[in-house]
Chain A
Amino acid sequence: MPVADEALLRTLSPVVIGILVRRGAAFAAAEDAVQEALVEAVRRWPDDLPQDPKGWLITVAWRKFLDASRAETSRRRREEVVEDEPAAMVGTAVDDTLQLYFLCAHPSLSSTSAVALTLRAVGGLTTRQIAQAYLVPEATMAQRISRAKKTVSGVGLDQPGDVATVLRVLYLVFNEGYSGDVDLAAEAIRLTRQLAASIDHEEVAGLLALMLLHHARRAARTGADGRLVPLAEQDRGRWDTGLIAEGVDVLQAVLPRDRLGEYQAQAAIAALHADAQTAEETDWVQIVEWYDELVRLTGSPVAMLNRAVAVGEADGARAGLAALGSLDPSLPRYTAVAAYLHERDGDAVTAAKLYVEAAALAHSVAERDHLTRQAARLHAQQGRSSASGST
C-alpha cells in the first residue's frame, strides 16, 4: 500500500472507533472490529482503493462488529445486541478522537499498556507492527493490548481525561526512537499533531514543539557507522530547518500565554540549541535559566543533572562540578556528566577513569561505545604526552 494510503487509513482508526462506540459498541469490541477492518484494508486497498475510504472502513468495521456480536450472542444464547444503526449521533469526530486519547492513557493502565493501546487504537497500527517495534512476540503484544482493554472496560468514552497522562504516553513513544519498520518517533509526532488539532492546550503544543525540534536533528545524531554524535559535534547543516522553523513557531505561539509546563521548558531549551549556528554560539546562560524553570516545575533529578552540564558551559567547568556535587551519584548518566566536566576542567586523568566507569553503567550500546571512545581518546592523549615527556 502506498505510504499516503496507509497514513490515511491510520488517521481514520480513532474516528471509526468513535463512530462505532457512538452506535452502541463497547470500546473493546469496537477497537477489535476496527483493527480487523484495518487489516482487511491493508490487504485490499492496494488493488482496489475505495472511493470513500472512511465510509468503506465504517461499513466493514460495523459488519465485523456485528459478526463478532452475533457469534458472542449465539455463544451466550442471548439476543440483546441492537443490529440496526442508531441514527442519534452526539458529539463530533474531533471529540471522539480526543476521548480515545484519554481512554488509552487512562491512569489505571501501566505506561507499557497505555503505549501499546494508544498505538493500536489511536495510531491504527497492527498488533504485529507494535510487537515488532518493541521487539516482543506478537502473542505477547496481543495479550498486553487485550488486558489493557479489559482494564479500561468500565471507563466510558465520555469521561473527562487528563492531558498530562496522554502527553506522558506520547513522550515515551517518541523517546523510543526508531526500531524495526515502524518509525515510532514519526508516529509520536503524527499522534501529537492530531492531538493538538483536537485540543488547545499549551503543553500539547510544547510537546509537539519539543518533538519537532529534536526530530530535526535526527539525521545529524548518528554517524555513518551508527555512532552517536554529540550535539556539539553535529553537522548543523544536516539539521532539518523546516522542522526547526515549525517547532519554533508552535512554541512561540504558546509561550506568551504564560502557562508554562515541563514540555514548553524543554522545547525552549531545544529551540535555543537549534538557534545556534555553531556550538560555540549557544546561549548557555539562557539555557541555564530554562533549566531553572524546568527544575522548579518538575523537581526532576534528571533535569538537575542536565542543568549541571549547562552551568558548566555557561559559568565554567568548576561551577558545573559544584552543581553536580549536590546531586545523587546513582543518577543515570551522572558519571558520564562528571567525566565530561572533569575533562573541561583540564583533569584528563580523572575524566578518563570516569568515562570507563560511565561506559560500564551505560544502558544502550550506542552510549556505551561513545563513552568508551571518549576514554580511549584521553588514554591515547595521555600516552602521547607521557611519551613526549620522557624524551
Chain B
Amino acid sequence: MAKYLLLKHYRGAPAPTNDVPMDQWTPDEWTAHVQYMQDFATKLEGTGEFVDGQALAQEGSWVRYDGEGRPPVTDGPFAETKDLIAGWMVIDVDSYERAVELAGELSAAPGKDGEPIGEWLEVRPFMGEPSTITE
C-alpha cells in the first residue's frame, strides 16, 4: 500500500518517442487521446487504485512573502522556467512495480497517427507514516 504521484509535464521532461505537438493532431486523434485518458482513470477507479487526478493550466505566477504588513510579491510567469507541470494522477498501489506498470500504460496514450506518445512521466512516492515497529 503506497501512494505514488504520476507527474505529467508541459515542459522539462525528455522528448517523447512520438514527438508531434498536440496542435498538429487531427480532431480524431484528439478524441482518441481524450478517450484513452478517461478510460485509464475509469479503469483505475474500478481496480480500487485511483486517488486523484487533476490537470493544471499553463499560466501561473510566483508568489512570495515580502515582510510584515506588506502584500505578497507576485512575479512571472517566467518564460525561461524549464519545468512546467501539466497535471498529475495519484494512485494507491501494492508496489513500486505496479506504479511503474501503470505509468507506462498512461504514457502509451495515443497521439499523432494513433501511435503511443511515449511521453516521459515522473513517478514520485508519497511520504508515508513511519512504521510503528522499527527495531
Q: Which residues of A contact B (CB under 8 A)?
A: 110-113, 115-116, 134-137, 139-147, 171-172, 174-179, 185, 210, 214-215, 218, 228, 231, 266, 269-270, 273, 306, 309, 362-368
Contact = CB atoms under 8 A, between A and B. Distances in A.
Contacts of B49: 140, 144
B135 interface: yes
Interface string B89-124: 000111000000000000000000000000000000
A86 to B, nearest CB: 34
A interface majority secondary structure: helix
Interface residues of B, number: 23
Q: Which of A215, A266, A270, A364 counts the most chain B CB atoms within 10 A?
A: A364
Contacts of A306: 134-135
Interface of B: 1, 3, 45-52, 92-94, 125, 127-135
Given A112-B1, A140-B49, A214 B127 contact: no
Given A140-B45, A143-B45, A363-B125, A228 B1 contact: no
A225 to B, nearest CB: 15
Contacts, number: 86
A363 B132 contact: no
A263 to B, nearest CB: 10
B51 A269 contact: no
B133 A112 contact: no
A213 to B, nearest CB: 9
10 nearest A-B residue pairs (beta carbon)? A144-B48, A143-B48, A364-B130, A175-B131, A112-B1, A110-B94, A365-B127, A177-B129, A366-B130, A136-B92
14 contacts: A112-B94, A113-B48, A136-B92, A140-B50, A143-B45, A144-B47, A177-B130, A178-B129, A218-B132, A270-B135, A273-B135, A363-B127, A363-B128, A365-B127
Given A111-B1, A306-B135, 8 more contacts: A116-B48, A144-B49, A176-B132, A177-B131, A214-B132, A273-B135, A366-B130, A367-B130
